[in-house]
């Protein structure tokens, strides 16, 4: 079965073709991605209306690109999947509309996918996929969650952020440092030049025994530290603050992940979502989990942030597990929240 998947929840348009296999994981046949970063950069963040319009422009050319790369025809598509939410309403509507229109024209069924389930299952696209069960750390721009994952569709929430997400903490701190959008990768780059111990920033909820997170206070602490540096901090001071901010986020995320592994007795950790691309987080997690005789799985670096492959994959895995039955129903709704 060939599943064509569309991702359009925020600032990336992604299309992918995934094929299910008897008794094996589905495989990615091809995918195409267009990032809107350069378009939004001038505005310092994602402009929802511009995002929607660009998804409209990109969806069909990316579909053609995907099918050509896979050596497939539109008629070979058996199911059309799309991100139902969460995300920007207008952006989601474009992907859902294109997917449902294509499916209607082909007479094929559709399937809406939860964006976070796409991130969660994206490590199954890697050459060395994890086995169930595992602890999942989902760290994106909108979510920070720890989950126990026993099978496709069997997810138990262990803890989550009570305010900002880890990605948001990166983005908001980056903005304070004048780094622009997208903040996470920019802050991570600047942090490479800095001393992570230079500023003593808070590690919220670190010493509480639960598995919840809180990052709103960190942003305030970064703002205060910046103010104390005066109107013109040096490049080195900014790099030190970036490194200290990253260190605070990484430490909290790392310690809570280890705590979740200890609490569940599971030795496998799967890290997904955009912040999973952070090099410091990866390096420190690898060392800490290995010490614990466990193993960390990540999606391939280019599949950490939003993409169509993870959406087609999540649809394929749900169908294979008998959890979803695609429907010949071309009315659609999106779930921004």
Tell how far CA 123 is from the center of its chain: 11
CB burial of 10-20 (b: ≥16 within 10 Å; e: otherwise) equals bbbbbbbbbbb
Kindly identify the residues of this chain, within the stretch 145-184, that bind Zn ion according to CB under 5 A.
none
- Assess 184 for contact with ligand KG4 (CB under 6 A): yes
Q: Measured from the CB atom, is 233 or 299 closer to Zn ion?
A: 299
- Assess 52 for contact with Zn ion (CB under 5 A): no
Q: How far is the CB of 116 from ligand KG4 (least distance, A)?
A: 8
**Residue of the chain from 182, 196, 233, 326 that contacts ligand KG4 (CB under 6 A):** 182
- Assess 196 for contact with ligand KG4 (CB under 6 A): no
Q: Which does 182 bind (CB under 5 to 8 A by kind): Zn ion, ligand KG4, none?
A: ligand KG4
- Assess 274 for contact with ligand KG4 (CB under 6 A): yes
Residue 255 belongs to what H/E stretch?
Answer: helix 235-264
**Residue of the chain from 88, 117, 306, 332 that contacts ligand KG4 (CB under 6 A):** 306
Q: Is 139 annotated as a binding residue?
A: yes
Q: Is 115 annotated as a binding residue?
A: yes
- 234 CB neighbour count, 10 Å cutoff: 10
Q: Which does 184 bind (CB under 5 to 8 A by kind): ligand KG4, Zn ion, none?
A: ligand KG4
Q: How far is the CB of 6 from ligand KG4 (least distance, A)?
A: 15
Query: Rounded to whole angstroms, how far apart are CA atoms 163 and 144?
Result: 10
On whether the CB atoms of residues 184 and 171 are closer than 8 A, the answer is yes
Q: Which does 257 bind (CB under 5 to 8 A by kind): ligand KG4, Zn ion, none?
A: none
Q: Measured from the CB atom, is 24 or 42 closer to ligand KG4?
A: 42
On whether the CB atoms of residues 95 and 118 are closer than 8 A, the answer is no
Query: Rounded to whole angstroms, how far apart are CA atoms 282 and 285?
Result: 5
Those residues with Cβ within 8 angstroms of residue 255's Cβ, 6 or more apart along the chain or in another chain: 206
Q: How many residues bind Zn ion (CB under 5 A)?
A: 2
- 130 CB neighbour count, 10 Å cutoff: 19
Q: Measured from the CB atom, is 39 or 72 closer to ligand KG4?
A: 39
Beta strand spans in 105-190 (E): 110-114, 134-139, 144-151, 154-160
- Assess 306 for contact with Zn ion (CB under 5 A): yes
Q: Is 44 annotated as a binding residue?
A: no
Q: Is 307 annotated as a binding residue?
A: no
What are the angstrom distances between the C-alpha of 59 and each of 32, 38, 194, 329?
Answer: 10, 18, 40, 21
Nearest to 136 by CA among 271, 16, 27, 33: 271
Q: How far is the CB of 317 from ligand KG4 (least distance, A)?
A: 18
Kindly identify the residues of this chain, within the stretch 308-337, that bind Zn ion according to CB under 5 A.
none
Which residues contact Zn ion (rule: CB under 5 A)?
140, 306
Residues that bind ligand KG4 (CB under 6 A): 10, 119, 140-142, 167, 170-171, 182-185, 188, 273-275, 277-278, 305-306
Annotated binding site for Fe cation: 115, 119, 306
């Amino acid at each position: 079965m060939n599943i064509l998947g569309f991702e359009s929840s925020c600032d990336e348009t992604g299309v992918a073709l995934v094929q299910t296999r008897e008794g094996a994981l589905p495989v990615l046949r091809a995918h195409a991605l267009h990032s809107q970063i350069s378009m939004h950069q001038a505005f310092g963040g994602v402009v929802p209306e511009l995002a929607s319009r660009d998804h409209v422009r990109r969806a069909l050319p990316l579909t053609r690109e995907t099918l050509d790369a896979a050596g497939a025809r539109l008629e070979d598509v058996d199911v059309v999947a799309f991100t139902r939410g969460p995300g920007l309403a207008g952006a989601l509507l474009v992907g859902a509309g294109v997917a449902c229109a294509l499916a209607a024209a082909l007479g094929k069924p559709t399937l809406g996918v939860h964006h976070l389930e796409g991130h969660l299952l994206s490590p199954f696209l890697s050459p060395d996929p994890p086995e169930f069960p595992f602890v999942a750390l989902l760290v994106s721009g909108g979510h920070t969650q720890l989950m126990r994952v026993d099978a496709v569709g069997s997810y138990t929430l262990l803890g989550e952020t009570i305010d900002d997400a880890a990605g948001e903490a990166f983005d908001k701190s980056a903005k304070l440092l004048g780094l622009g959008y997208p903040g996470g990768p920019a802050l991570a780059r600047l942090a490479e030049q800095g001393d992570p111990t230079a500023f003593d920033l808070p590690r919220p909820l670190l010493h509480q025994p639960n598995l919840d997170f809180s990052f709103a206070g960190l942003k305030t602490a970064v703002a205060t530290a910046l103010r104390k540096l005066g109107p013109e901090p040096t490049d080195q001071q900014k790099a030190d603050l970036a490194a200290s901010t990253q260190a605070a986020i990484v430490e909290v995320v790392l310690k809570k992940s280890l705590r979740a592994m200890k609490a569940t007795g599971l030795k496998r950790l799967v890290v997904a979502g955009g912040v999973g691309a952070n090099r410091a987080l990866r390096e420190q997690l690898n060392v800490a989990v290995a010490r614990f005789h466990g193993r960390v799985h990540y999606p391939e670096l280019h599949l950490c942030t939003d993409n169509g492959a993870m959406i087609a994959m999540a649809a394929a895995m749900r169908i294979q597990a008998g959890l979803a039955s695609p429907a010949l129903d071309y009315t659609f709704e999106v779930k921004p929240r």
